[in-house]
């Protein structure tokens, strides 16, 4: 079981230990900055100890209390300007659009799908192409510090199984879904029938459970692209699979654009709203990841709250294509609805969650204006929460990841900010900067070059 060994972490079989600054979110408004923190990650990749204000001389004592002989493993000391933070969780990502990010700006959503995207995704019919492209894609997102991604694959079964293989091999935590789509797409890029679509979906579930039987990294996810591309039989079939597998997450595009909502209403005149529609097919519950959620009516908002659905907020895609669309994130947070951030690569041009977070600030400023001040902008700590623990909640993984609570798995970034002489494009760190300012400089101006190491379950995965 070579593959499984690879997912055991860390590779050495020894614990990992760090001493230095640790920054994580405990809730939207509770950012914790721990100085001189000692972190111990056991050989299974779980956080065994987390203790702030530890002097170097105390470390051996803590190690011994945790049941290890002193000096059997190294402790990595982080310098000033370096810190650990949780890895980013990307709640909405179209893996096969990796090589089309940024292309086709200025088109409406449905035109962009038909004219740019479907032709591009169709290329994943070729397994070799899928293998090359997904290897680049997963490596690229890991380079950006995305330790967990909720991926839409293409509609192809084989390519999507390859995507799962590559995530496991490269050590990225992932929700991997085969796009279900049997209509309103070109005949050369859609599922041939309902039964084909469902069979490939079941095959993906089997494959993922086979290569990662303990769900260490991988979760299959049901992925009806959106109701426009799925007929009633297909949605009903997916609802049946969701009932059959009560641990399976579900993702779809939801109230994303006015054009999309109108077309959906034409196709399903019997439903008043998209909540009505997806709920009737058994696809709305605490496992649902609803991408975009721009145009929800009051009744829909109330019901996704009651059903404990999560929202994947994708501010780059929502504002850089032909339209400027504002998801009411403050309202979702006020109602206690789970919210995370998504690159929406490639509707979103960027592969960086730092860029997504900054665009979430922009959208929240716009919403403040549009609501005449009712909805306050997102704070820096709220943005960081959404990119980490908020996303973990949306993906149903907050018991496992999202921050550094003891017992969670160590999905982490080692951030190296720089002084004046080495800062490059990041804002240089100055002598008098507090840890809060250093953190702010990284979030607002850092990039993947400041992400020196990426860990998933304690395994170092950034090439």
Positions that interact with a copy of itself (CB under 8 A): 98-103, 105-106, 132-133, 136, 140, 143-144, 319-324, 346, 349-352, 358-359, 361-362, 365-366, 368-369, 377, 379-380, 420-421, 423-425, 427-428, 430, 437, 440-441, 443-445, 447-448
| 450 φ, ψ (degrees, to nearest 5) | -90, -5
**Cβ-Cβ contacts under 8 Å for 163 (sequence gap 6 or more):** 95, 130, 134, 138, 151, 153, 174, 176
Considering beta carbons, is residue 347 or 402 the nearer one to a copy of itself?
347
Considering beta carbons, is residue 299 or 323 the nearer one to a copy of itself?
323
Asked if 344 and 314 count as a contact pair (C-beta separation under 8 A), the reply is yes
Question: Measured between alpha carbons, how far apart are the two ends of the chain, in Å?
Answer: 23
Q: How far is the CB of 376 from a copy of itself (least distance, A)?
A: 10
Nearest to 318 by CA among 350, 352, 275: 350
List residues bridging with 451 in a β-sheet: 415
Considering beta carbons, is residue 7 or 345 the nearer one to a copy of itself?
345
Tokens representing residue 39 in the block: 């972190």
Q: How far is the CB of 323 from a copy of itself (least distance, A)?
A: 6
Taking the C-alpha atoms of residue 349 and residue 343, their distance in angstroms, rounded to an integer, is: 8
Q: Is 39 helix (H, G, I), strand (E, B) or coil?
A: strand
Considering beta carbons, is residue 101 or 287 the nearer one to a copy of itself?
101
Asked if 309 and 337 count as a contact pair (C-beta separation under 8 A), the reply is yes
Asked if 395 and 91 count as a contact pair (C-beta separation under 8 A), the reply is yes
Q: How far is the CB of 301 from a copy of itself (least distance, A)?
A: 21
Q: How far is the CB of 446 from a copy of itself (least distance, A)?
A: 9
Tokens representing residue 139 in the block: 């490596």
Q: How far is the CB of 349 from a copy of itself (least distance, A)?
A: 4
Nearest to 163 by CA among 135, 141, 129, 126: 135
Q: How far is the CB of 101 from a copy of itself (least distance, A)?
A: 4
Residue 253 vs residues 223, 433, 450: alpha-carbon distances, Å = 9, 42, 32
Tokens representing residue 374 in the block: 């009712």
Task: Spell 204-220 as b/e; 16+ CB within 10 A means b.
Answer: bbebbeebbeeebbbbb
Tokens representing residue 277 in the block: 């529609």
Q: How far is the CB of 367 from a copy of itself (least distance, A)?
A: 8
Give the rounded distance of the alpha carbon of 420 from its chain centre. 32
Q: How far is the CB of 347 from a copy of itself (least distance, A)?
A: 12
Taking the C-alpha atoms of residue 154 and residue 135, their distance in angstroms, rounded to an integer, is: 15
Q: How far is the CB of 311 from a copy of itself (least distance, A)?
A: 21
List residues bridging with 151 in a β-sheet: 93, 176
- ∠ CA 383-439-138, rounded to 5°: 65
Taking the C-alpha atoms of residue 201 and residue 198, their distance in angstroms, rounded to an integer, is: 5
Taking the C-alpha atoms of residue 59 and residue 62, their distance in angstroms, rounded to an integer, is: 5
Nearest to 378 by CA among 356, 362, 399: 362
Q: How far is the CB of 333 from a copy of itself (least distance, A)?
A: 16
Give the containing element (helix H, strand E) for 344: none
Tokens representing residue 189 in the block: 């890029």
Q: How far is the CB of 51 from a copy of itself (least distance, A)?
A: 30
Q: How far is the CB of 115 from a copy of itself (least distance, A)?
A: 13
């Amino acid at each position: 079981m070579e593959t499984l060994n690879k997912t055991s972490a860390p590779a050495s079989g020894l614990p990992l230990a760090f001493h230095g600054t640790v920054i994580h979110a405990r809730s939207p408004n509770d950012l914790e900055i721990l100085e001189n923190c000692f972190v111990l990650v056991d050989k299974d990749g779980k956080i065994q100890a987390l203790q702030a204000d530890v002097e170097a001389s105390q470390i051996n004592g803590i190690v011994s209390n945790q049941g290890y002989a002193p000096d059997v493993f190294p402790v990595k000391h982080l310098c000033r300007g370096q810190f650990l933070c949780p890895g980013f969780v990307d709640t909405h990502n179209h893996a096969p659009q990796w090589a089309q990010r940024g292309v086709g700006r200025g088109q409406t959503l449905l035109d962009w799908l038909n004219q740019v995207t479907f032709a591009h995704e169709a290329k994943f019919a070729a397994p070799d192409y899928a293998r090359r492209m997904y290897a680049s894609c997963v490596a690229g997102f890991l380079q950006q510090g995305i330790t967990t991604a909720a991926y839409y694959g293409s509609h192809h079964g084989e390519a999507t199984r390859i995507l799962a293989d590559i995530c496991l091999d490269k050590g990225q935590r992932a929700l991997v879904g085969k796009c279900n789509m049997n209509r309103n797409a070109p005949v050369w890029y859609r599922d041939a029938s309902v039964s084909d679509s469902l069979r490939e979906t079941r095959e993906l579930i089997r494959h993922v459970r086979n290569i990662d039987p303990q769900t260490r990294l991988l979760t299959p996810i049901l992925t009806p692209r959106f109701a426009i591309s799925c007929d009633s039989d297909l949605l009903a079939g997916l609802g049946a699979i969701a009932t059959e597998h009560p641990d399976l997450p579900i993702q779809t595009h939801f109230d994303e654009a006015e054009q999309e909502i109108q077309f959906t209403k034409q196709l399903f005149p019997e439903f008043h709203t998209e909540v009505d529609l997806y709920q009737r097919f058994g696809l709305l519950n605490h496992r649902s990841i609803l991408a975009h959620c721009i145009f929800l009516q009051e009744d829909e908002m109330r019901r996704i709250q009651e059903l404990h659905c999560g929202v994947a907020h994708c501010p780059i895609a929502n504002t850089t294509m032909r339209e400027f669309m504002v998801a009411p994130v403050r309202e979702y947070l006020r109602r206690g609805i789970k919210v995370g951030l998504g690159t929406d690569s490639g509707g979103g041009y960027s592969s960086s969650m730092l860029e997504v977070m900054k665009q979430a600030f922009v959208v929240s400023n716009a919403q403040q204006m549009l609501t005449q001040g009712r909805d306050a902008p997102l704070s820096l700590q709220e943005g960081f929460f959404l990119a980490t623990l908020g996303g973990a909640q949306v993906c149903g993984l907050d018991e496992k990841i999202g921050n550094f609570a003891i017992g969670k798995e160590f999905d982490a970034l080692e951030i190296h900010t720089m002084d004046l002489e080495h800062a490059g494009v990041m804002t240089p760190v100055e002598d008098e900067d507090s840890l809060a300012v250093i953190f702010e400089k990284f979030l607002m101006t850092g990039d993947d070059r400041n992400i020196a190491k990426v860990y998933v379950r304690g395994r170092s995965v950034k090439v």
